[in-house]
Amino acid sequence: MHELSLTQSVVSAITERFGETRISVVRLEIGKLSGVVVDSIRFCFDLVAEGTTLQGARLEIDEPSGSARCRDCAHEFTVDDPIVLCPNCDSANVTVHSGRDMLIKSVEVTPACAPPAAAR
């Protein structure tokens, strides 16, 4: 269940960066070739976020397909399966360009810190 550690990494990266600021939305990108079960991340997120500035935040996860190029026949293709085979010639000799990344894309911070009237 490496998703628990990954979720902890997400939460600690955000709390380190934003301190006491409350977070309302967390947007992740988890490529389909990353080896991560997105449902497990969702399951872990509420548990890990509890008691932090991310508690109650909405989690949005984008799961892009992978892209790859066959080194044998030069075919370019998209792929969702972790076993990457060229659909044109069945070769496993492929270069994966994307789809393995796990990124914290952005967060939305809540307006808990309205500036004083004089500053407006």
Partner 1 sequence: MCATCGCSVTEHDHGHTVTLEQKVLAHNDKLAERNREWLVGQDILAINLMSSPGSGKTTLLERTIRDLAGGPEIAVVEGDQETEFDADRIRATGCRVVQLNTGAGCHLDAEMLHRALHSLDPRPGSLVFVENVGNLVCPALFDLGESGRAVVMSVTEGADKPLKYPHMFRTADVVLLNKVDLLPYVDFAVDRFREYLNRVNPTVELLQVSATRGDGIRDWYTWLSERKSR
Residue numbers at the binding site for partner 1 (CB under 8 A): 1-2, 5-6, 9-10, 12-14, 17-18, 21, 24-25, 28, 35-36, 82-83, 85, 92-93, 101-115, 119
Supply the minimum distance, in Å, between the C-beta of residue 108 and partner 1: 5
Nearer to partner 1, 8 or 55 (CB): 8
Q: What is the dihedral of CA 38, 79, 92, 94, to 10 degrees?
A: -110
Supply the minimum distance, in Å, between the C-beta of residue 106 and partner 1: 5
Nearer to partner 1, 114 or 117 (CB): 114
The DSSP code for 96 is E
The DSSP code for 67 is E
**35-57 residues labelled b (16+ CB within 10 A) or e (exposed):** ebebeebeebbeebbeeebbeeb
CB 61 within 8 A of CB 67: no
Nearer to partner 1, 17 or 42 (CB): 17
Strands (E), the chain: 23-30, 58-62, 66-70, 76-79, 94-98, 102-109
Supply the minimum distance, in Å, between the C-beta of residue 60 and partner 1: 11
Supply the minimum distance, in Å, between the C-beta of residue 116 and partner 1: 12
